[in-house]
Structure 1
Amino acid sequence: MTGTPQKAVIIGASAGALEALSAILPDLPADFACPVYVVVHVPPHSRSVLAQIFSAKCQLPAVEVSDKEPVAAGRIYFAPPNYHMLIEDEGHVALSSDAEVLFSRPSIDVAFESAADVWGEGLTGIILTGANHDGAQGLQAVVAGGGVAIVQDPATAYASAMPEAAIASCPQARVMSLAEITSYLKGACA
């Protein structure tokens, strides 16, 4: 556990995301004291149902963000398809249609870098399962800002490329099972 109280959580995932997120998000308590930003690679021209799925199974409300969306603790914010999610300040999210990063929009790197700029040492960044390297650079930004870096144990991931890349770029990241990640979050954002 970090000595600094955590003020925000950002999670990036790709292939296998639904299962991994289902092992973490529903267990967060209704009084969870941090906003949770989630970036999942979804096809750009399809409708995402992640917010609906998790709103139904979680104690925290889950929404797909819109541009300039106000942010509050105890809510889950999903990046919409075909937009980068930028954390503008502690109270707002912006959307961008800038170029894809690592063939992805939304990009995990872009969201993590903006969150690290805003939340600094109060940010926990988590990289879960995925089949590319998106998130490795963003997790470096979390570490550079003094935040906590956590990576799903690649041995437990549906697709290990993303967690392996994150560990390679951030050797100081804490490697945890999904259950350990959930337990950490419950203590860090109490």
Structure 2
Amino acid sequence: MSATGRPATGRFELVVLVASAGGVEALGSVLTGLPPAFPTPVLVVQHGLRRPVGQQVLASVLAYRSGLHVRYADDGQSVTRPGVTVVPTGMTGRADQGRLHLVDDEDRRPADALLRSLGPAVGRAMIAVVLTGHGEDGSVGARVVKRHGGRVIVQNPSTAKAASMPTAALATGCVDFAVPLERIPAAIVALTMAPGAAEMLAVPTPSWARLLA
């Protein structure tokens, strides 16, 4: 059995995409690049959108761009629900015993809140992807994910509308791959779907990495 309580189907059981400023476009680009039969569940955190407009349109925009099934999260659902699950605008998602719980009060760093709760539960079966955004949200989560054996991908800051979030994640030393936005889907597909790729593409953690949040 996997860390999430489900039968293990592969090295990675969850991909988490986090973004802020410029994120709608970046998220759409990543999801568009994933094949319609992509088997690994995806969780999305996009903060900084205005309510209620952001609440109403984000999942619809992403669904239009993607061949995958996209829906808003339900409180108490499995964190590894198939397809693409979007944490609603203005809410914070936290994982507990394999379930996603929603708080109707967006944390200032909702990506960190979710990744910190997922790290111990999903561990080495998770890939965290930090995309464009202002501030440092995602950097603490990157440390937690790496400390528990997961993988961290960041958007190359030079391709980000707002470079602060990917830059902060890179500064932790806990990032496995920093790649241009257009290549992130291929990196995700390679890690999750190519036999043996997860081990073959393992990246040693540098000695200076700050694993403790």
TM-score (norm: length of structure 2): 0.78
User: How many corresponding residue pairs?
Assistant: 182
Of 124-133 and 175-184, more deviation after overlay is shown by 175-184
Instruction: Name the Cα RMSD after superposition.
Output: 1.9
Q: Quick check: 2:152–2:174 contact (8 Å CA) kept in 1? A: no
1:79 match: 87
Structure 2's unaligned 5+ residue stretches are 1-9, 194-213
Structure number with the bigger relative contact order (C-alpha 8 A, sep ≥ 6) is: 1
From 68, 73, 77, the equivalent of 1:65 is 73
Structure 1's unaligned 5+ residue stretches are none
Give me the whole-angstrom Cα distance separating, in 2, the residues matched to 1:16 and 1:95.
24
Local SS of the residue matching 1:134: coil
1:16 match: 22
Q: Where do 1:5-154 residues align within 5 Å?
A: 5-43=11-49, 45-47=51-53, 48=55, 49-72=57-80, 74-90=82-98, 92-97=99-104, 100-102=107-109, 107-154=110-157
Local SS of the residue matching 2:61: helix
Local SS of the residue matching 1:189: helix
Q: Quick check: 2:154–2:175 contact (8 Å CA) kept in 1? A: no
Larger Cα-atom Rg: 2
Provide Cα deviations, 1:101-156, integer angstroms capped at 9, x if missing partner.
Answer: 34xxxx01011112212210010001000011111001111101100011110011
Q: Quick check: 2:136–2:169 contact (8 Å CA) kept in 1? A: yes
Give me the whole-angstrom Cα distance separating, in 2, the residues matched to 1:128 and 1:158.
9
Q: Where do 1:178-189 residues align within 5 Å?
A: 178-189=181-192
Local SS of the residue matching 1:126: strand
Give me the whole-angstrom Cα distance separating, in 2, the residues matched to 1:188 and 1:29.
14
Of 171-180 and 112-121, more deviation after overlay is shown by 171-180
Deviation at 1:97, TM superposition (A): 3.7
TM-score (norm: length of structure 1): 0.87
Provide Cα deviations, 1:74-115, integer angstroms capped at 9, x if missing partner.
Answer: 41111112211123344x32112467334xxxx010111122
Query: Equivalent pairs: percent with the same residue?
Result: 29
Give me the whole-angstrom Cα distance separating, in 2, the residues matched to 1:118 and 1:128.
23
Give me the whole-angstrom Cα distance separating, in 2, the residues matched to 1:112 and 1:170.
17
Local SS of the residue matching 2:149: coil
